Amino acid sequence: MNNDSSPDQSTKKTDANATAQSTELTNLSASQLADLIQQRKVSSLEILEAHLERVKRYNPKINAVVTIKEKEAREKAIQADQALDKGENWGPLHGVPMTVKDTWDVKGMRTTNGVHWLKKNISQQNAVVVQRLIDAGAIIYGKTNLPFASYDWQCNNRGLYPRCNNPWDLTKVPGGSSGGGAAAVAAGFTPLELGSDVAGSIRYPAHCCGVFGLRITEGLLPYEGHGNIPRSPYTMKHLVSQGPLARYPEDLKLFLKLFTQGHGPQEQLLKHNQNQHIPIAKARIAWTGDFGEDKICSETRQVLNRCLDTCKNTGTQVEEVEPPFPLEDAQQIWGIIQGFEYNAATPYLMRTKLSQWLIRLLGLPLLFGRGAFSRSVGKGATSSIPDYFEALYQREKIIKKLQEFFMKYDFWITPVAVSSAFTHCRTGAKVDVEGETRPYSSLASLYNCTTAAGAHPIAVLPAGLTRDGLPIGLQIHGRHYHDFQVVDFATQLARKIPQIGSPNLGN
């Protein structure tokens, strides 16, 4: 053997081992990483470095993570390891790195909310939910990509951030608005992401990127520090919810557990229902395939049918139902509330009567295409105060109908969207679905906007793959403040169906 070559071979072997360990760490759940840190088997700094290295290697072609605080994160990771040496425990996420959507205030980090005029905005405080994560020991090392004003079903925010691509297929969208977060989770850049959802912004990206997502019961957690526009009133009071994205359902449960220690009435309700377990074989399941005329594609239908067959084979009671509320009414109510509240926070020139009607008649149809979504949001933008309060009243009726519905059924399973992730295109362009041209907003709006009107918890389960290897998710709906129950059912079902795996990012 040539001794001169031995050091090179040894170095290559060492590098290969290091790469293998790094890859293994980025494949684990946040719960597993937290356990490894607590058991002193792996340091917080090693875990952080593994994720930073993966971001450095693959993020340039995905563009999921848009802001990174490496120095500060490393210092915090070192402090986390030193704290354990002293017998200190910060909490369930002690030393675990994670990311948050660029709508959440993180002190000392840039927060743009996806708008160009805030590209130099540095948050002066932590959002309340972000602070709770930090108090639990999480190390927030970065922010993730999002569309303009956090308002689209893709992440193509020209002039602010590079276009975010789907890790499963770079020619496809990752969903929106929490698309960067879902892509980051799927690519192994982070084990856990904090997103937000008003029109499917957690659920649709989870579906596109093949990860778990949870839109929590609306109002469960405070919104302070989310979507905060300096010197602008916070008007988004309804329909908005927060929640985690993760590769493993156990991390959705871990996230929820962080919010059972509060003394607020909503958190007490969450805690009260925490241990209510319904075995899948005894669950009463309702399901709906098509939402009105926005019919799902054949591959989505196949995935849905396979999951329902899995439930039936365990002895589960499964029944096809119509949605528990009129879809057209729900879309209209959602749009009036959303359009009214969103418009109230826009610059003054956009709130004049002329501007509002231009937005309704021209802006929204040009941006999102003509259809129920643009019509309903446009009506909201031009609605009077009495119209707005009438919509809130009508929404209460939808919530009541949903509560009555869940007295008969434990869970409701629906698609997340018409099809898997679509090819990158101009927002509002018509999209091909199995040879049929569909309006842009029809792909996801009816399945997500109408259900957001219900204010209930909704989990997304990665349930299968298309022939081309793109993920398809399903929504699991449950009772208000029974978020743990919804996650538990998603976990049970995930164990009984084939796992979709992770995207191949290449070299």
Q: What is the pLDDT of residues 360-412, one digit of tens each?
A: 877 788 789 888 999 999 999 999 999 999 999 999 999 999 999 999 999 99
pLDDT > 70: percent of the chain: 94
Q: Which residues contact 131 (CB under 8 A, 6 or more apart)?
A: none
Give CA separation, 444 vs 64, 146, 165, 410, in Å.
21, 17, 18, 24
Reply yes or no on whether the pLDDT at 6 is more than 60.
no
Cβ(426)–Cβ(419) below 8 Å: no
Count the alpha carbons within 13 Å of 316 in the hemisphere toward its beta carbon: 28
What is the pLDDT at residue 229?
85
What is the pLDDT at residue 349?
66
Q: What pTM does this model have?
A: 0.94
Give CA separation, 134 vs 128, 141, 286, in Å.
10, 11, 38
What is the pLDDT at residue 362?
79
Q: What is the mean pLDDT of residues 201-228?
A: 96
Cβ(166)–Cβ(172) below 8 Å: yes
Count the alpha carbons within 13 Å of 256 in the hemisphere toward its beta carbon: 30
pLDDT band at 261 (very low <50, low <70, confident <90, very high): confident
Range list of β-strands (E), 129-206: 139-144, 192-197
* CA 168 centroid distance within chain: 17
What is the pLDDT at residue 365?
84
Q: What is the pLDDT of residues 42-58, one digit of tens each?
A: 999 999 999 999 999 99
Reply yes or no on whether the pLDDT at 5 is more than 50.
no
What is the pLDDT at residue 314?
93
pLDDT band at 230 (very low <50, low <70, confident <90, very high): confident
Per-residue DSSP letter, 148: G
Q: What is the mean pLDDT of residues 417-430?
A: 97
CA–CA distance, 451 with 431 (Å, rounded to integer): 23
Which residue is listed with tokens 């605080």? 69
What is the pLDDT at residue 9?
41
What is the pLDDT at residue 469?
98
Q: What is the pLDDT of residues 163-186, one digit of tens each?
A: 999 999 999 999 999 999 999 999
Reply yes or no on whether the pLDDT at 308 is more than 60.
yes
Grouping H, G, I as helix, E, B as strand and the rest as coil, residue 275 is coil
The residues spanned by each domain of the chain are 28-321+409-496
Write down the CATH number for the domain with range 28-321+409-496.
3.90.1300.10
Mean pLDDT for all residues in the chain: 93
Q: What is the pLDDT of residues 328-367, one digit of tens each?
A: 999 999 999 999 998 887 776 677 777 777 878 777 887 8
